[in-house]
Amino acid sequence: MPETTKTKPKRPKPGAIPRQEMPRQAPEVRRANFNEVALGLTMEMAQREAQRCLQCKKPLCIAGCPVEVRIPEFILALSEGNMPEAVRLLKDKNNLPAICGRVCPQETQCEELCVLGKKFKPVAIGRLERFVADWELGQGVETPEPLPPTGKRVAVIGAGPAGLTCAADLARCGHQVTLFESLHAPGGVLMYGIPEFRLPKRTVHAEVDYVKSLGVDLQLNAVVGKLYTLNELLGERGYDALFLGTGAGLPRFMRIPGENYNGVYSANEFLTRVNLMKAYLFPEYDTPVKVGKRVAVIGGGNVAMDSARCALRLGWQRALAKGSEPAEVTIVYRRSRVELPARLEEVENAEEEGVEFRLLTNPVEIYGNEQGWVRGMRCIRMELGEPDDSGRRRPIPIEGSEFDIEVDVVVVAIGTSPNPLVFTDAGGLERTRWGTVVADEETGRTTKQGVWAGGDIVTGAATVISAMGAGKRAAADIHRYLVGEEICE
Partner 1 sequence: MYKILAREDLAPITKLMVVEAPEVARKAQPGQFVIVRIDEEGERIPLTVADFDRGAGTITIVFQEVGKSTMHLGTLQPGDGLASFTGPLGEPSEIEHHGTVLCVGGGTGIACVYPITRSLHEAGNHVISIIGARRKDLLFWEEMMRSVSDELIVCTDDGSYGRKALVTVPMKEILEQRDDVSRIWAIGPAIMMKFCCLTAQPFDVPIIVSLNSIMVDGTGMCGACRVEVGGRTRFVCVDGPEFDGREVDWNQLLARQRIYLGEEKLAREKFEHECCSKHESSGSAV
Ligand X SMILES: Cc1cc2nc3c(=O)[nH]c(=O)nc-3n(C[C@H](O)[C@H](O)[C@H](O)COP(=O)(O)OP(=O)(O)OC[C@H]3O[C@@H](n4cnc5c(N)ncnc54)[C@H](O)[C@@H]3O)c2cc1C
**Which spans of this chain sit near ligand X (rule: CB under 6 A)?**
103-105, 157-163, 180-183, 188-189, 193-194, 222-225, 245-247, 249, 271, 302-303, 306, 419, 421-422, 455-457, 461-465, 467
CB of 244 to ligand X, least distance (A): 9
- For the beta carbon of residue 124, count every other beta carbon within 10 angstroms: 25
Based on its alpha-carbon atoms, the radius of gyration of the chain, rounded to whole angstroms, reads 23
- Closest distance of CB 58 from ligand SF4, Å: 9
371 binds, among ligand X, ligand SF4, partner 1, none (CB under 5 to 8 A by kind): partner 1
Instruction: Kindly tell me which residue out of 32, 45, 77, 110 binds ligand SF4, with binding defined by CB under 6 A.
Output: 110
Query: Residue 283, preceding bond cis, omega within 30 degrees?
Result: yes
- Residue-wise burial string across 246-266, b where 16 or more C-beta atoms lie within 10 A, e elsewhere: bbbbebbebeeebbebebbbb
Choose which of 100, 211, 355, 476 interacts with ligand SF4 (CB under 6 A).
100
State which H helix or E strand residue 412 sits in. Answer: strand 409-412
Most distant CA pair in the chain, distance: 75
Sign of CA dihedral 421, 227, 260, 265: positive
88's CB contacts (< 8 A; 6+ apart) are: none
Examine residue 54 and tell whether it contacts ligand SF4 (CB under 6 A). Answer: yes
Distances (CA, A) of 383 to 335, 361, 401: 8, 9, 11
Q: Which is nearer to ligand X, 87 or 465 (CB)?
A: 465
For position 69 contacting ligand SF4 by CB under 6 A, the verdict is yes
Supply the minimum distance, in Å, between the C-beta of residue 309 and ligand X: 10
The residue (of 332 and 465) whose beta carbon lies closer to ligand SF4 is 465
**155-184 core/surface letters (b: 16 or more CB in 10 A; e: else):** bbbbbbbbbbbbbbbbbbbbbbbbbbbbbe
Q: Is 115 near ligand SF4 (CB under 6 A)?
A: yes
Min dist CB 18 to partner 1, Å, is 44
Output the smallest distance, CB 265 to ligand X, in A: 13
Residue 451 CA to residue 423 CA, distance in Å, equals: 12
HEC secondary structure over 96-132: CHHHHHHHCCHHHCHHHHCCHHHHCCCCCHHHHHHHH
Give the shortest CB-196-to-ligand SF4 separation in angstroms. Answer: 20
DSSP per-residue letters across 150-171: ---EEEEE--SHHHHHHHHHHH
- Interacting partner of 89 out of ligand X, ligand SF4, partner 1, none (Cβ under 5 to 8 A depending on kind): none
User: Choosing among partner 1, ligand SF4, ligand X, none, which partner's interface includes residue 378 (Cβ < 5 to 8 Å by kind)?
Assistant: none
**355 belongs to the binding site for ligand SF4 (CB under 6 A):** no
Q: Distance (Å, rounded) from C-alpha 127 to C-alpha 114?
A: 14
Helix H or strand E segment including 135? helix 125-139
From candidates 19, 20, 22, 59, binder to ligand SF4 by CB under 6 A: 59
The nearer residue to ligand SF4, 94 or 302, going by C-beta atoms, is 94
From the list 61-69, 209-217, 374-382, 394-402, the region that binds ligand SF4 by CB under 6 A is: 61-69
Instruction: Give whichever of 289 and 475 is closer to ligand SF4, judged by the CB atom.
Output: 475
* CB-CB neighbours of 384 under 10 Å: 16
Task: Give, for 264, the enclosing helix (H) or strand (E).
Answer: strand 264-266
- The count of chain residues that interact with ligand SF4, using the rule CB under 6 A, is 27
Q: How far is CA 191 from CA 71, 101, 270, 391, 453, in A?
A: 27, 16, 13, 32, 21
Q: At closest approach, how far in Å is the CB of 157 from ligand X? A: 5
The footprint of partner 1 (CB under 8 A) covers 182-184, 220-223, 226-228, 249-251, 253, 259-260, 262-263, 265-266, 268-269, 272-273, 277-278, 282-288, 290, 371-372, 419-421
Q: Is 470 helix (H, G, I), strand (E, B) or coil?
A: helix
Residue nearer to ligand X on the CB measure, 101 or 376: 101
Cα dihedral 103, 200, 280, 468, rounded to 10, equals -50
Q: How many angstroms separate the CA atoms of 158 and 140, rounded?
A: 26
Distance of closest approach, residue 185 Cβ to ligand X, in angstroms = 8
**Residue with Cβ nearer partner 1 (419 or 463):** 419
Span interacting with ligand SF4, options 121-129, 236-244, 366-374, 375-383, rule CB under 6 A:
121-129
Among ligand X, ligand SF4, partner 1, none, what does residue 56 contact (CB within 5–8 Å per kind)? ligand SF4
114 binds, among ligand SF4, ligand X, partner 1, none (CB under 5 to 8 A by kind): ligand SF4
| Closest CB 347 distance from ligand X, rounded Å | 12
Out of partner 1, ligand SF4, ligand X, none, what residue 116 binds, judged by CB under 5 to 8 A for its kind, is ligand SF4
Nearer to partner 1, 269 or 351 (CB): 269
Counting runs of H as helices and runs of E as strands, what totals does the chain give?
17, 16
Residues engaged in binding ligand SF4 (CB under 6 A): 53-56, 59-61, 65, 67, 69, 71-72, 94, 100-101, 104, 106, 109-110, 114-116, 123, 125-126, 129, 465
